[in-house]
Amino acid sequence: MPLFGKSQKSPADVVKALKEAVNSLEKGDKKAEKAQEDVSKNLVLIKNMLYGTSDAEPQTDIIVAQLAQELYNSNLLLLLIQNLNRIDFEGKKDVAQVFNNILRRQIGTRSPTVEYICTKPEILFTLMTGYEHQEIALNCGTMLRECARYEALAKIMLYSDDFYNFFKYVEVSTFDIASDAFSTFKELLTRHKMLCADFLEMNYDKVFNHYQRLLNSENYVTRRQSLKLLGELLLDRHNFTVMTRYISNPDNLKLMMNMLKERSRNIQFEAFHVFKVFVANPNKPKPILDILLRNQDKLVEFLMKFHTDRAEDEQFNDEKAYLIRQIKELRPAADH
């Protein structure tokens, strides 16, 4: 026992103290104020063990291992996330930092926290519903994106019914929450190529029905972001099957042709990158070919005048020239 200054609390002590404080915060009894203080204090202690501070190194691996083990055994991670809205402003961020650090923990090639969360998927579902609460949405967002880095966790989230709530979250009126939700949404749909391709193939109708709503959103930012992401998804070679399916549907072509004419130049430009896939397809289904043929002259004229100020963008100009040539050369398919 040192004579001066505080003794170093053990991980077990800190976790126990934090759990008691969160429990009492949850009950909301008359000791709530004291509990709030204890929660904040112990969160900072844990955070400093994991990260160190600007003038102290983080704790040794043994201490961190003990801490992680205590966190799993006490079920504290879930408890913290469930009570996140009750924790004060700085404490909420500390929870996210503690969570993100523990999540990255590795023993050799194993990620014990990831394995732990796989057995407690409520953690993920609770985090996802966090987007419904203004005051914790951004904190939950940072934790969710950290989780999405791991394929096993991304899979649980993608294949859950809650995933479809993202189509609502990315469109909420508060811009910072909507764009944070969009980053998470995008991460889930693009990070693990094979997983994402399988997911999109198996859930094509449901996902693209929802996606259609984003492309027609009244919110400019949602419309632009979702259109850009659509282009990225379709042009990713892993999603070949999904792309083929998407560009066979004449309604999708009509939507893109209309978006080419939108008032916003950025939306026109993003729409171009989806539109080009329809034209470049060597096996155009008849309904697609028919639409393109009906508008052959208009399209050529339109594209000639399309974004002519992008002279320095070589790739864009090559692609545009290619599309114009392709459309000019379109001929009706021979009847069988």
Partner 1 sequence: MVNFEANNDHYSTVSLLGQCWDGLAIVHLAKHIPSDKMVAIKRFNMDKIKEESNLVEHEIILTRQLQHPNITRYYSSFVIGPEVCVVSPLMAFGSCRDLLNTHFSHGLPENAIALILREVLEGLDYIHKKGFIHRALRASHILISANGRVCLSGLRYACPIIEHGRWQRQIHSFPASTARNLNWLSPEVLEQNLQGYNEKSDIYSIGVVLCELANGAEPFAGMPTTLMLIEKVRGAAPQLLDCTTVPRDENNEIHGFSQDQANRRFSEGLHQLAALCLQREPKCRPTASQLLTHSYLKVNRRGLQLPDLLKPAIPLSDRVAQNTDELANLDTIQRMSDLELYTCEWDF
- Return d(Cα 285, Cα 293) in angstroms, integer: 12
Tell me whether residue 38 or residue 180 sits nearer to partner 1 (CB atom).
180
Query: Rule CB under 8 A: is residue 302 a binding residue for partner 1?
Result: yes
**Helix 134-148 to helix 151-158 angle, to the nearest 10 degrees?**
130
Host H or E run for residue 35? helix 32-51
Query: Rule CB under 8 A: is residue 294 a binding residue for partner 1?
Result: yes
Query: Rule CB under 8 A: is residue 254 a binding residue for partner 1?
Result: yes
- For 237, half-sphere exposure in the C-beta direction (CA atoms, 13 angstrom radius) is 0
Q: Residue 3: CB partners within 8 Å, gap ≥ 6? A: none
Could you tell me the CA-to-CA distances from 311 to 85, 266, 268, 305 in Å, in that order?
Answer: 51, 16, 16, 12
Query: Rule CB under 8 A: is residue 85 a binding residue for partner 1?
Result: no
Choices 2-10, 28-36, 101-109, 196-204 (CB under 8 A): range interacting with partner 1: 101-109
Find the shortest distance in angstroms from Cβ 268 to partner 1: 9
Q: CB atoms < 10 A from the CB of 252, how many? A: 22
- Closest of 323, 309, 220 to residue 277, by C-alpha: 323
Find the shortest distance in angstroms from Cβ 5 to partner 1: 20
Among 32, 291, 300, 330, binds partner 1 (CB under 8 A): 291
Tell me whether residue 220 or residue 322 sits nearer to partner 1 (CB atom).
220
Among 41, 86, 93, 191, binds partner 1 (CB under 8 A): 93
Find the shortest distance in angstroms from Cβ 97 to partner 1: 7
Footprint on this chain of partner 1 (rule: CB under 8 A): 51-54, 58, 89-90, 93, 97, 100-101, 103-104, 138, 173-176, 178-180, 219-222, 224, 254, 257-258, 261, 263-266, 291, 294-295, 298, 301-302
